[in-house]
Amino acid sequence: MIIRMSPGASIEQLERVINRITQDYGLRCETIVSDTTVIGVKGIASVVDEGRILELPGVDRVIRITEKYKDASRSFHRDDSVIDIAPGVRAGGPHLTFFGGPCAIESEKQAIESAMMAKDAGVDVLRAFVDKSRTSPYDYRGLELQKGLEIAAAMKEATGLPTVSELIDLRHLDAFLKAGIDVIQVGARSAQYSPLLEELSRIENPVVLKHGFGNDLNEWLCAAAYIMSGMDREGRVAGSGNRNVILCYRGIKSFESETRFGADTGMIPLVRMRSHLPLIADPSHSGGDRRLVERMTYAFVAAGAQGIEFDIHNNPAEALCDGKQAVQEDAGRIIATARRIHAMLDGIGIETGSSVPVAAV
C-alpha cells in the first residue's frame, strides 16, 4: 500500500499518518520525501481500512499494490489449491468435481430417489439441502431442521457420497456437523454475512462460497479470504482459519429477465487468474432453466471451471423448489461429456497474471 500526501502537507500530518499505520495496524512505514511525499506501508496491508487513512488531514490518495484478499490471492499462492472433501473426492487443481442433487429436501422418498439419480449420473458430492434461502421468503424453505438432517444423513448412507448443505442460520452449524454434513455452502444471499463467514473460519470442513449476485470479484474474494484468515471482528488473527474454501460462480443480477442471473463466462478464467482456490459454477441457479443447463455446463468447463454444481430432481414437475432448473437422468450424459471436454482442453494453461502459466493439467 502506498499513501500519497497532498502537496503542502505538514510534518505533523505526515507523522499522524505514520502513527496510525504503525500503532493501529502494527505495520511498518517507509517515507520518501520528494516533490510529493509518499509513504510505503510494509507488511500485510489487508487489515488497513483505506477510509480511516483518507480521512486524515494531508492525505491525498491511498493506493493498494496487492489485493486485499491476500489469503485467496494467486499473488501470494502461485499453485492451485486442491481440497480434500472425502476419501477419493477432491476439488481444485486438475480435478473436475460435480456437486448435484435436489435443490431442497422435500420428503424422504423424493430425497432418496433424487440422490440415487445423482449417484447414478456420477456426481461426486451430493446436494442435501435442509435449510433453503429463497428469492421470496414465501416460497418453500425446507423441512423442520431435525427431520431434514435425518433425511440428509439417509441420503449420504444410501449413496455413500459426501454431502453439501447450505447453512443459513448460524445456530444450526453444530447440528449440521453432528449429522455428518461434509461441505457447508454459503448461499449467494449470505455471501457477505460476516458472522457466518467468521464461524466457518473456525471449522475445517470445506466451504462452498457462492458468488453474491450483487458482488464484484473483489468483494467475493475478500469473503473467501476472510474465511481463510481466521480473523475476528477487531481484525486480529484469532484462529488458524479455514483454508478449504471452494468458490462457486452463479452470475449476478442483470436486466435480462429470461435468464435467472447474468453469468459471464469471462469471470471463470479471470477468477482462476486472481485466485488459487478451486472454482466451480452453477448453471441451474444462473440460467434458471433446465434447457440451458447442459450447454452452460460445457461453457463453464471449457472456460476453466474445476467443477459444476447443479440441481438433479427425481420428478421436477412435482418439485416444491426450483424444479424448472433441475435435470434428471440426463445429468449422466452432461457429466460424461463435460469430463471429455475437460480432458480435451488438458494442457491449455490458465493465465496466472505472469508470463509463466500454471499448467492446467
Binding site for Mn ion (CB under 5 A): 103, 322
Stretch that binds ligand PEP, among 65-73, 183-191, 288-296, 332-340 (CB under 6 A): 183-191
- Partner from Mn ion, ligand PEP, none contacting 201, C-beta within 5 to 8 A by type: none
Determine which helix (DSSP H) or strand (DSSP E) holds 33, and give its type and residue range: strand 28-33
Beta carbon of residue 309, minimum distance to Mn ion (angstroms, whole number):
10
Given candidates 103, 227, 263, 277, which one binds ligand PEP under the rule CB under 6 A?
Answer: 103
Determine which helix (DSSP H) or strand (DSSP E) holds 168, and give its type and residue range: none
- Partner from ligand PEP, Mn ion, none contacting 250, C-beta within 5 to 8 A by type: ligand PEP
Contact 181, 164 (CB under 8 A): yes
Beta carbon of residue 325, minimum distance to Mn ion (angstroms, whole number):
7
Per-residue contact track with ligand PEP, 270 to 289, x per CB under 6 A? ------------x--x----
Measured between alpha carbons, how far is 243 from 151 in angstroms, rounded to an integer? 29
- Partner from Mn ion, ligand PEP, none contacting 320, C-beta within 5 to 8 A by type: none
- Partner from Mn ion, ligand PEP, none contacting 187, C-beta within 5 to 8 A by type: ligand PEP
Contact 112, 100 (CB under 8 A): no
Q: Are strands 83-86 and 89-91 parallel, antiparallel or unpaired?
A: antiparallel
Measured between alpha carbons, how far is 207 from 193 in angstroms, rounded to an integer? 14
Beta carbon of residue 310, minimum distance to ligand PEP (angstroms, whole number):
9
Beta carbon of residue 129, minimum distance to ligand PEP (angstroms, whole number):
6
Beta carbon of residue 169, minimum distance to Mn ion (angstroms, whole number):
18
Given candidates 187, 283, 304, 316, which one binds ligand PEP under the rule CB under 6 A?
Answer: 187
3-state secondary structure of 41: strand
Give phi and psi for 340, each to the nearest 5. Answer: -65, -40
Measured between alpha carbons, how far is 39 from 178 in angstroms, rounded to an integer? 50
Contact 324, 290 (CB under 8 A): yes
Nearest residue to ligand PEP, by Cβ distance, number only: 187
Record the cell numbers describing residue 267, joined without a space: 469471470
Beta carbon of residue 318, minimum distance to ligand PEP (angstroms, whole number):
18
**Interaction between residue 313 and ligand PEP (CB under 6 A):** no
**Interaction between residue 250 and ligand PEP (CB under 6 A):** yes
**Interaction between residue 90 and ligand PEP (CB under 6 A):** no
Measured between alpha carbons, how far is 342 from 351 in angstroms, rounded to an integer? 16
Beta carbon of residue 132, minimum distance to Mn ion (angstroms, whole number):
7
The distance from CA 300 to its chain's CA centroid, rounded to whole angstroms, is 15
Give the residue with the Cβ less far from Mn ion, 106 or 198: 106
Measured between alpha carbons, how far is 90 from 103 in angstroms, rounded to an integer? 22
Measured between alpha carbons, how far is 276 from 271 in angstroms, rounded to an integer? 9
Determine the angle formed by the axes of helices 267-274 and 290-303, rounding to 10 degrees: 40
Nearest residue to 189 via CA among 221, 217, 211, 164 = 211
Beta carbon of residue 322, minimum distance to ligand PEP (angstroms, whole number):
7
- Partner from ligand PEP, Mn ion, none contacting 210, C-beta within 5 to 8 A by type: ligand PEP
Residues that bind ligand PEP (CB under 6 A): 103, 129, 133, 187-189, 210, 250, 282, 285
